[in-house]
Amino acid sequence: MPGAPRPRPRPNALNAPPPLLRLRAGWVHPVTAPSIPDGAVLVGADGRIAAVGPHTRVPRPRGTEALEFPNAVLVPGLVNCHTHLELTHLVGQNTEAQFAPWIRRVRELKDATPPAEFVRAAEQGIRDCWASGVTCVAETGSTGAVLEALARLGGRGIVYQEVFGPDPANCEQSLAELAAALARLRRLTSPRVRLGVSPHAPYTVSAPLYRAVAGYSRREGLPIAVHVAESKDETMLVRDGTGPFAEALRTRGIAVQGHGCSPVAYLLQLGVLALGTPCLCVHCVQVSDGDVALIRSVAAAVAHCPLSNRAHGHGTAPLPALRAAGIPVGLGTDSVVSVGALDLWAEAEAAGIRGEEALRMLTIEGARALGWEREIGSLEVGKAADMAVLSDGPRVRPSGALLTVVAGRIVHPMHKP
């Protein structure tokens, strides 16, 4: 096929400098600068962008591998701000209609999954992301499989290690298990693979455990991600101590009381949301204007997952209000158990965003939500060469990536050695 990349030798090691690479496309969209017809990007041996501009002005040093895509567009790699890639193998396996039973069923399916299956699911999820032009993921998971796979495959992302424990009596045990998991995973981190923590949600984490994890994250300098204000059931639990989640906890012998406030205000009281601790608030559907102000006051960011919210009947997050408040907002696909496919362009459409605005939200705005905007999210000299070649322009929803590059290394399509 004209413009298709030819097979290239792969580096002997993932940490080996990639060869010089030059990509030329019918259009180059830097995102933070005007679009360039017949543009090109030169990648240095350090995996960073050395030049970007019109094809005739971008040099081609000796030894450079040059690939040309005259009928395609070159964009920054997309950023998926909320994934559960370790659950990729569970697509289509949870048919519960109500959210609380759905959550319990996910837990059952995870408990029945052998460790090796999580590894395969994580790798498949990462490759599925690369095939759609996603070069950075923000994963929330409990097994560590995605962080291990990112490190092994040479990907980019941040993995928030989940911690659970709705019973206050188990707080110390849950925190010890979290610390042990983090100690195991830290050895795999790098500038491209980062680690954070995720006290899962108000219906799976007790108040003492929230406080303990918040303190631990501050001491260790780890960012937080938390599911918050996702459903009306969650709001009923936190505010009134009623609803399906409250009933399920009482059935387990766990005392429940309402706190008379919203989930966002509750997390602020417990120190999970705190100025100086980077926090990614996932979903934020059931939020008031006051909640939006609280999120802004602690400089937190939001991961917006419109298709997951729609699938579970949670409602629609107030995206215009969040953006108007200056809160960094990125789009996420959540898990395939909820939405069936990892399609960020479909998420943008569901959010009412199209064209170049969608491209911006899927790149630099997503990077900003993760605190990674100085490294990725736009095609600028000095930034990491995370890029995707799309068969269609941002004015038309792309069907997939012809080529995906992470830190100057081609990761999609895969070629035999």
Provide the pLDDT confidence category of residue 313 given band limits of 50, 70 and 90: very high
Model pTM score: 0.94
- What is the biggest distance separating any 2 CA atoms in the chain, rounded to whole angstroms? 71
The one-letter amino acid code at 229 reads A
Tokens standing for residue 208: 């003492």
User: Catalytic residue positions?
Assistant: 230
Query: In what helix (H) or strand (E) does residue 181 lie, and over which residues does it extend?
Result: helix 171-186
How does pLDDT run across 358-381, given as a tens digit for each residue? 999 999 999 999 999 999 999 999
Contact indicator for 197, 161 with CB cutoff of 8 Å: yes
Share of the chain above pLDDT 90, in %: 88
- DSSP assignment letter at 386: -
- DSSP assignment letter at 383: S
Beta strands in 209-295 (DSSP E): 224-228, 279-283
Mean pLDDT over 191-208 rounds to: 98
Distance (Å) of CA 214 to CA 78, 86, 227: 29, 24, 14
Provide the pLDDT confidence category of residue 400 given band limits of 50, 70 and 90: confident
Which residue in the block uniquely carries the two structure tokens 């923000």?
138
- Any idea what the Cα angle at residue 239 is, between residues 236 and 245, rounded to 5°? 35
Domain regions of the chain by residue span: 21-76+378-412, 78-369
Contact indicator for 160, 144 with CB cutoff of 8 Å: no
Tokens standing for residue 351: 């959010």
Helices 171-186 and 207-220 cross at an angle (nearest 10°) of 30
3-state helix, strand, coil in the chain (%, to 5): 35, 25, 40
> Residue 326 burial (CB < 10 Å; 0-12/13-18/19+)?
exposed
Give the residue among 402, 377, 391, 400 at the shortest CA–CA distance from 156: 377
> Residue 380 burial (CB < 10 Å; 0-12/13-18/19+)?
middle
Give the CA radius of gyration of the chain: 21
- The CATH superfamily label for domain 21-76+378-412 reads Urease, subunit C, domain 1 (2.30.40.10)
End-to-end Cα, the chain, rounded Å: 21
Contact indicator for 125, 86 with CB cutoff of 8 Å: yes
Dist. CA 153–CA 147, nearest whole Å: 10
Residue 93's pLDDT is what? 84
How does pLDDT run across 47-106, given as a tens digit for each residue? 999 999 999 999 999 999 999 999 999 999 999 999 999 999 998 888 788 999 999 999
| Backbone phi and psi for residue 95, each to the nearest 5 degrees, phi listed first | -110, 10
Q: What mean pLDDT is reported for the chain?
A: 93
Q: Which residues pair with 302 in a beta bridge?
A: 281, 329
The one-letter amino acid code at 332 reads G
> Residue 69 burial (CB < 10 Å; 0-12/13-18/19+)?
buried
Query: In what helix (H) or strand (E) does residue 97 lie, and over which residues does it extend?
Result: none
Domain 78-369, CATH: 3.20.20.140
Which residue in the block uniquely carries the two structure tokens 């509750």?
266
- DSSP assignment letter at 334: B
